[in-house]
Amino acid sequence: MKYKRILLKLSGEALMGERQYGIDPDRLAEYAQDIKTITDQGVQVAIVIGGGNIFRGVAGASKGMDRVQGDYMGMLATVINGLALQGALEDADIPTRLQTAIKINEVAEPFIRRKAMRHLEKGRVVIFGGGTGNPYFTTDSAAVLRAIEIEADVILKGTRVDGIYNTDPEKDSKAVKFESISFDDVLQKGLKVMDTTAFTLSQENELPIIVFDMNKIGNLLKVVAGEKIGTEVNV
């Protein structure tokens, strides 16, 4: 395997499958089996998952809700998704721990860096819920922050498309895909990979990002093995 320790970033919307909202158990089971293919190879896996399938703070704020309250609701949504993913992973016989940035001791461990790294070294998948624990920060920022803290080799951003394009491939049939691209070029071209805070943090710490299609079974294993799947953003 090319990468020994990864941070997998999943959107909350990815868990909906073909549904309009909520969680699709079949999609969860597919993800769990995909993750098992790499944990069986000894790869250490940490996961950050969004909460957009349940609640999105920015959307709530746009309709008159207090932004801070909305963001905390979004953090709780990520914990719900984390619990669901933990259940699916454990059903696949993958030992898993859920750590949260906000304390919910009855359902998850608090985030403690050393403890998280110890879990990874013991072969457990660690899911980080609750974002960064602060409003105004996205789960993209949480993903980059946690990846740096646990000394991950790479951030793998699983999406619905198979990489980064010059325009939205779901709207433009002539969109051109980048096989690899530098951080500077992403910024110059105005491409949306992650929010600016998260992207800048990744750039400053020279932490590569690979954007790939997570919904195609087997892609995760290919990416971790070093195959040219998706688009790599590097220095």
The tokens for 95 are 């030992």
- Cα end-to-end span (Å), the chain: 22
HSE, CB side, 13 Å, CA atoms: give it for residue 35.
34
Q: What b/e sequence results for 61-94 when a residue is b if at least 16 CB atoms lie within 10 Å of its CB, and e otherwise?
A: beeeeeeeebbbbbbbbbbbbbbbbbebbeebeb
- State yes or no: 133 annotated in a binding site: yes
Strand spans (E) along 40-146: 44-49, 96-100, 109-110, 125-129
- State yes or no: 231 annotated in a binding site: no
- State yes or no: 10 annotated in a binding site: yes
- State yes or no: 70 annotated in a binding site: no
- State yes or no: 135 annotated in a binding site: yes
- State yes or no: 81 annotated in a binding site: no
- State yes or no: 56 annotated in a binding site: yes
- State yes or no: 132 annotated in a binding site: yes
- State yes or no: 196 annotated in a binding site: no
- State yes or no: 24 annotated in a binding site: no
Q: Which secondary-structure segment (H or E) carries 26?
A: helix 25-39
- State yes or no: 137 annotated in a binding site: yes
- State yes or no: 228 annotated in a binding site: no
The tokens for 185 are 């070029």
- State yes or no: 159 annotated in a binding site: yes
- State yes or no: 51 annotated in a binding site: yes
- State yes or no: 25 annotated in a binding site: no
Q: Which residues are annotated as a binding site for UMP?
A: 51, 71, 132-139
Q: Which residues are annotated as a binding site?
A: 9-12, 51-52, 56, 71, 132-139, 159, 165, 168
Q: Which residues are annotated as a binding site for ATP?
A: 9-12, 52, 56, 159, 165, 168
